Amino acid sequence: MNTPLPLDITLTDRKDGVTITEWVYAVLRHAVMCGQILPGRSLTLRELAKVLGVSPMPIREALKKLSSEHALEVKENRRIIVPTMTAMKFNELCETRITLETHAAIRALPYINSTILERLESIDKDIDIARDKDDMESTITHNHAFHRLLYTANPHQVSLHLIESLWLQLGPFLRLSTERIKENYTIDRHQEALQAIRHKDALALQLAISSDIREGFAFIGTPEILHHFIQESAKY
């Protein structure tokens, strides 16, 4: 049998007016997004209910919601697991991210005013601070916030939830990159993106975003390293 592995999940406070289901969803989503649960780990209603201190019902709804966003996977036996990964699927996810996010960025460009630009610059500073402190969880969160703010500048935008679904599917592998992210001295392309926004240069923005995404997964290095990561995660 597999080791139980005690499920180290970041619990937040439940705000007023938030239903239990919504809170459970947010907690589990954050855990997946930040790679706190390894691929292949199976999740049961009663175990999570115990860990989060609620009845199985809200867990059920939250797990189902995450499953339909492909953050989790319902297997044939109805067991719910964090999806496993293949090198080809990983590549598809990255390429789809690039296609969808450059699309969203370009269509948001006309709506970006000075207020939004300032907030983007502010978030970019937060990312640098978090990275300097080697705070992985915070770096990921702020990085997502940067992209999210950019795309939602378009008030008619419909693609964010598609994009977030891709983030969720790649999430479990962000943890595996923790060790390598330092040695590789990864730097993002947000400065180039901001510059492109200031000049209202759609082509430059497209280039910046696609480079940002592609280089963000450069820690993978070679297909061999990715394959090693996948094998590693499959042990549990």
195 binds its own copies (CB under 8 A): no
**Which of DNA, its own copies, none is residue 235 near (CB under 5 to 8 Å by kind)?**
none
Minimum distance from CB of 166 to its own copies (Å)?
8
Which x/- pattern, by CB under 7 A, does the window 105-124 give for DNA? Answer: --------------------
Select the residue interacting with DNA from 10, 11, 12, 19 (CB under 7 A).
19
Beta-bridged to residue 74, according to DSSP, are: 80
Nearer to DNA, 11 or 129 (CB): 11
CB 59 within 8 A of CB 52: yes
Name residues contacting DNA, limited to 25-54 (CB under 7 A): 43-47, 54
Name residues contacting its own copies, limited to 94-133 (CB under 8 A): 95-96, 99-100, 103, 107
61 binds its own copies (CB under 8 A): yes
Spatial CA neighbour of 104 closest among 164, 168, 158: 158
70 binds its own copies (CB under 8 A): yes
Neighbours of 180 (CB within 10 A): 15
Q: Which phi and psi angles does 218 have, rounded to 5°?
A: -65, -20
Number of residues this chain uses to bind DNA (CB under 7 A) = 21
Select the residue interacting with its own copies from 139, 169, 206, 233 (CB under 8 A).
169
Inter-CA distances, 139 with 6, 12, 57, 167, Å:
25, 18, 33, 14
Looking at the chain, which runs of residues are DSSP E strands? 42-43, 73-74, 80-81
Nearer to DNA, 77 or 113 (CB): 77
Sheet holding 73-74, edge to edge: 42-43, 80-81, 73-74
Residue ranges of the alpha helices (H) in 78-133? 87-108, 114-132
Interface contacts to DNA, rule CB under 7 A: 1, 19-21, 43-47, 54-58, 60-61, 74, 77-80
